[in-house]
Structure 1
Amino acid sequence: MAANFTTRRCSPLTSSAFALLCLLAQPALAADVRAPEAGIRVPSQPAPVLVVSSDGALVIDTRARLAWPRCVEGMQWNGHTCAGVPQLLSYGEAQALARKRWQDSGVRWRLPRVNELRRLVNRNAQPRTVDATLFPNAPADWHWTGTASVNTATVNPYSYGNVVRGGEGESQLTVQQAWAVDMASGEARGDMGRASKLALRLVRPAP
């Protein structure tokens, strides 16, 4: 009777006695259906987006396929941490350094876009900051970006607060201003004077 019961289908035409048994049995049957088969592994949490490269010198954004140096310009990775003093550059100096790095290495180093740089800020941390394990001794200051557009749909895809616009609006930004990101909060602003001396973390395609 029990074996025969599990193969019958409950329906509005089922007798009242059988319907009662059907209702009582449904949770157990549903549990059997949902139970994982032996030998099947339950998927674990997704792999982290940012991982350290095998040589320890880079941090790879596995989602965006970008590679970041562990240290900002002026500091060096010594195998354990970032040593030295951050080099502060004007926007023009930052662009020139990126071009020279590309020419010398043959690798397409460049200034990061606003949304790329902001991905390094851990928005779940309080206060927000970069991961000190991935980027030791990272300066919690403004960093240059290569973003020229001020379209907020492009530069602000994450919930890091409002993008600060400069001047009289998006269409009025002049060539004397550029976008920068505060690595202590994730805030971005497009009215940073290009003569300002800021930190720089270049980026390249992931190997």
Structure 2
Amino acid sequence: MFERTKIIFLLVVTILLMTAVSCDQGSGKKSEEPDSISVDDSDTELETETKTSHGFPPNVQRWPLVGTGQYQCFDHEKQIPCPSIGEPFYGQDGNHQIGVRSYGVNDDATVTDILTGIVWQQGFKTDVSWYEAKSYCDNLSLAGFSWRLPTTHELKSIVDYGASKPSINTTAFPDTPSDWFWAAPVRHNQFGTTETAWIISFIDGQVEYTARNNFYNVRCVKID
């Protein structure tokens, strides 16, 4: 009799536990997740181009791997001879030299990036707001082409991270100031407004955003 009572008690406890779990699962509770995701990444906010599922515009997907321009190697303190496979600090950009930069300087004040195929304005305009920069490129009359502001991807592709002040090939792009340049995408803040835009530094290649009424530089890119 005692054994039978014990078995019944265990069955009742098991049923109660199963009922409690089932109720909890059906209560509508979920793991904590944000209601929405606001993406502020400069590489995905490309107003002027159609996005893909990967977040990259179509022209960027056609590019080969673009090198950084960094030919030197470093340890945690200083520059070192580039190490061999298996040695400490092996695997830096200076080891691989992938996507070596190459530019064609044309006779019409344009520069062709041989690696990406992008055609750039060789010159630039200084001291303009984002609005003025966009208008300048939209209305630029150069070499018989139509022009626009470059995207952040495009502008970063000509940053030479092996150089500084300015961090760019000065043979292809002479007199480039060590300063910030405007990019096309605006940056949407959490309230959905578009008061800021992305800028790229040709001091050291840094990417930042700023108010669109600030004054920086612009170099236009040819519309394909």
Instruction: Give the Å deviation of 1:174.
Output: 3.1
Which residue number corresponds to residue 66 of structure 1?
A: 118
Correspondence for 1:42: none
In the alignment, which residue of structure 1 is the partner of 2:222?
A: 204
State whether structure 2 residue 196 is matched by structure 1 residue 177: yes
Give the whole-Å Cα distance in 2 for the aligned partners of 1:125 and 1:173: 37
2:139 is paired with a residue whose SS is helix
SS in 2 for 1:115: helix
SS of the residue 1:132 aligns to: coil
Tell me if structure 2 keeps the 8 A contact 1:65–1:205. Answer: no
Q: Quick one: which amino acid aligns to residue 51 of structure 1?
A: Y
1:128 Cα offset (Å): 6.8
- The DSSP-based 3-state class of the residue aligned with 2:138 is helix
Where does the alignment leave 5 or more consecutive residues of structure 1 unmatched? 1-44, 74-86, 151-169
Taking only the aligned residue pairs, the percentage that are identical comes to: 25
Match of 2:172 among 99, 123, 134: 134
1:60-105 Cα offsets, whole Å, 9 max, x none, are: 11232211122212xxxxxxxxxxxxx3111111111122226x87
- Tell me the CA shift for residue 196 of structure 1: 0.3
Maintained 8 Å contact 1:143/1:182: yes
For the residue of structure 1 that corresponds to 2:147, the secondary structure is coil
Query: Deviation at 1:194?
Result: 0.7
**CA 1:173–1:131 in 2, change beyond 3 Å: closer, same or farther?**
farther
Distance in 2 separating the partners of 1:89 and 1:72:
11
Contact 1:118/1:183 (<8 A) preserved: no
Q: In structure 1, what is the Cα distance between the partners aligned to 2:110 and 2:212?
A: 28
Supply the AA of the counterpart residue of 1:72: F
Pairing 1:20-31 to 2, within 5 Å after superposition: none
Q: What is the letter of the counterpart of residue 216 of structure 2?
A: L
**Correspondence for 1:113 among 151, 154, 157:** 151
Taking the aligned partners of 2:150 and 2:161, their CA distance within structure 1 comes to 18
Q: Which residue of 2 aligns with 1:11?
A: none
**Higher RCO structure, 1 or 2 (CA under 8 Å, sep 6+):** 1
Map of 1:157 onto structure 2: none
TM-score normalised to structure 1 length: 0.53
Letter in 1 for 2:183: T
* Pairwise CA distance, 1:140: 0.8
Give the secondary-structure state (helix, strand or coil) at the position aligned to 1:117: helix
CA distance in 1, matches of 2:191, 2:153: 21
1:89 aligns with 2:128: yes
Contact map agreement 2:108 2:143 (CA 8 A) in 1: no
Which residue identity does 1:200 align to in structure 2?
V
Distance 1:128 1:55 in 2: 23
The equivalent of 2:206 in structure 1 is: 187
Secondary structure, counterpart of 1:180 in structure 2: strand
3-state SS, counterpart of residue 179 of structure 1: strand
Matched position secondary structure for 2:208:
strand
User: Which deviations, in whole Å up to 9, do the C-alpha atoms of 1:34-70 show, x marking residues without a partner?
Assistant: xxxxxxxxxxx99854312342622211232211122
Q: Secondary structure, in 3 states, of the residue corresponding to 2:146? A: coil
Deviation, structure 1 residue 188? 0.9
Contact 1:139 1:183 in 2 (8 A): yes
- Kindly report the root-mean-square deviation, in angstroms, between the aligned alpha carbons of the 2 structures: 2.9
